[in-house]
């Protein structure tokens, strides 16, 4: 693999092309990894597409909760499609080169879709809060116009910030090494390749992450605090179980996504290593989206009933 650089007027070499090392440290497992990741990608596409189709076709699922779930499933398809197809091509062809523009584009879309997921999960938590804590006002508060606006806002609110963050990351000067010890263009491994002092850039990343991830996460925690308080006040055990079952799937997805992402971005820099970074990144970028359709279908009676109608009716 060649190290493509551009010589400046000074003695500094500017990297014009990166090498995604990915899983190159496992040379004997390349075909196995391709097979595993290909199957995972198919599962994610089919699973989330099935949920979208069920919600579109079944009148029983024409509710705000499932409207947001359809948005979430479509988002998961977009989210993994930013990473997995490129990774599959890399593993299959062993061509690990990626241009500066391609790398910046991949990071930008990854950050935008990641921000959308944070806000959409917060909106879904708000929907469950209104349904459980204010059930009489639910049809009024979560009407069609409000649902569309909340979903649209989730998709677009993080775009300017994440585009700006991508620009500031790739405004850095990259020199000497062009090897990204990761399977996609994520922020931590890219910053490691930058020349000079990157303290300000790292602080910007932390601030943006706090705004994009920590604020929605706090909203989710507050919502679920009130939800749990309301559920515990219900007079019967069956009522409490029914109320909790309506939000348990979403809560599990929240824990998986925010938990693995927080470990990746907020643990001390001294604890970062390429192996652990890849492991946690795999979890929240690929493994969690694979399990999400299963979590929502297996833990939701309405979705299970819709699946039965789809496959058992002639």
Q: Both ends of the chain: CA-CA distance in Å?
A: 56
Confirm if 251 and 216 have CB atoms less than 8 A apart.
no
Distance (Å, whole) CA 296 – CA 301: 9
pLDDT of residue 12: 46
CATH value of 17-312 in 2.40.10.340, 1.10.150.120, 1.20.1070.10, 1.20.1250.20: 1.20.1070.10
Residues in the chain, pLDDT under 50: 1-13
Angle between helices 100-133 and 237-266 (to 10 degrees): 160
What is the tens place of the pLDDT at every residue in 251-277?
888 888 887 777 766 665 555 566 677
Enter the pTM of the model: 0.89
CA–CA distance from 39 to each of 3, 22, 27, 45, 84 (Å)?
32, 18, 20, 10, 11
pLDDT of residue 162: 93
Distance (Å, whole) CA 174 – CA 172: 6
pLDDT of residue 6: 44
What element of type H or E holds 113?
helix 100-133
Tokens, residue 50: 């099935």
pLDDT of residue 248: 79
Tokens, residue 301: 């009676």
Domain extent listing, the chain:
17-312
CA–CA distance from 237 to each of 22, 65, 234, 251 (Å)?
49, 23, 8, 20
């Amino acid at each position: 693999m060649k190290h493509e650089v551009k010589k400046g007027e000074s003695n500094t070499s500017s990297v014009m092309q990166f090498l995604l090392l990915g899983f190159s440290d496992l040379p004997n497992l390349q075909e196995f990894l391709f097979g595993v990741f290909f199957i995972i990608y198919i599962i994610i596409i089919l699973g989330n597409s099935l949920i979208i189709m069920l919600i579109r076709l079944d009148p029983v699922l024409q509710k705000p909760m499932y409207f947001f779930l359809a948005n979430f499933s479509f988002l998961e398809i977009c989210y993994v499609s930013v990473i997995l197809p490129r990774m599959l091509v890399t593993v299959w062809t062993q061509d690990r080169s990626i241009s500066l523009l391609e790398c910046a584009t991949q990071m930008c879309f990854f950050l935008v879709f990641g921000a959308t997921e944070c806000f959409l999960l917060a909106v879904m938590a708000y929907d469950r809060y209104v349904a459980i804590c204010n059930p009489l006002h639910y049809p009024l508060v979560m009407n069609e116009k409000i649902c569309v606006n909340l979903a649209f806002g989730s998709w677009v609110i993080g775009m300017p910030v994440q585009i700006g963050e991508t620009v500031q990351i790739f405004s850095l000067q990259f020199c000497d090494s062009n090897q990204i010890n990761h399977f996609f263009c994520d922020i931590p491994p890219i910053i490691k390749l930058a020349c000079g002092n990157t303290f300000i850039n790292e602080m910007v990343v932390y601030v943006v992450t706090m705004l994009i991830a920590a604020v929605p996460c706090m909203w989710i925690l507050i919502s679920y605090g009130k939800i749990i308080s309301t559920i515990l006040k219900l007079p019967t055990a069956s009522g409490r179980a029914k109320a909790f079952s309506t939000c348990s799937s979403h809560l599990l997805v929240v824990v998986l996504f925010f938990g693995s992402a927080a470990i990746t971005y907020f643990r001390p820099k001294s604890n970062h290593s390429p192996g652990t970074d890849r492991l946690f990144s795999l979890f929240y970028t690929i493994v969690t989206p694979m399990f999400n359709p299963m979590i929502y279908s297996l833990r939701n009676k309405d979705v299970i009933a819709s699946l039965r109608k789809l496959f058992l009716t002639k």
